[in-house]
Amino acid sequence: MQSSDKLVNGKYYHIYTHGVGGRNLFKEAENYEYFLHQYDKYISPVADTFAWALMPNHVHFLVRVKASDEIPVRVPNPDRDGVYLKISSPEMQFSKLFNGYAQAFNKRQTMEGSLFRRRFKRKQVDNIHYLKQLILYIHNNPVHHGFCSHPLEYPWTSYLTCVSLKPTKLNRDEVIGWFNDLGEFKSKHGEEIDWGDLELWLGYI
């Protein structure tokens, strides 16, 4: 898997970042909800999303950066009627997301200082097997960190969206298709994971 500064149009990426110094990024449900609102606002115009997880001190996303002709020049601002947002490069849109959320979080918590690590990480994904393993890794992150025993029990990942029938912007059908059907998707997520081997194989240790 490759890692570089520029997000290339049409390519899949694992995007992830942590709170600086282990600092928590979320303290209450409203923080998670606001982050997801901001994610839709800044990232949906430039990338399709296939999986995500919001952990207390780090976040994960599996996205496909849209082709250049799929990315609009501007979009309506969902927070202000009649106002449009200018769309920048995909990597700049992620920076806007993280910086904007950090400012709002610090204001709400009456805190100061950096919230996210200076540079978010990105790994290009170029094969279907890696995509599937990465989805299992992302959805099972709360299990790995001791927040639950199954992804179904944790509210802040895309697992619940994948097993739901509710309308969503998540590319759910494609994700389920990678696992052949919903039954196999659920089955794979219920299997025990050797985290040392998986993280080594994915290239994170």
Q: What is the CATH number of domain 12-202?
A: 3.30.70.1290
Task: Read off the pLDDT of residues 25-53 as tens digits, 9 standing for 90 and up.
Answer: 999 999 999 999 999 999 999 999 999 99
Residue-wise pLDDT tens digits, 188-202: 999 988 888 888 878
Give the start-to-end residue ranges of the domains of the chain.
Answer: 12-202
Rounded to whole angstroms, the Cα distance separating 185 from 172 reads: 11
Whole-prediction pTM = 0.94
**Non-local CB neighbours of 159 within 8 Å, separated by 6+ positions:** 139, 151, 152, 189
Structure tokens at 83: 């106002």
DSSP-assigned letter for residue 192: -
Q: Quickly state the pLDDT bin for 2 (edges 50, 70, 90).
A: very low
pLDDT averaged over every residue in the chain:
93
Question: 101 Cβ partners below 8 Å, 6+ apart?
Answer: 34, 35, 38, 115
Token digits of residue 140: 């099972």
Query: Which pLDDT score is estimated for 196?
Result: 87
pLDDT digits (tens, 9 = 90+) for 47-80: 999 999 999 999 999 999 999 999 999 999 998 9
pLDDT of residue 130: 93
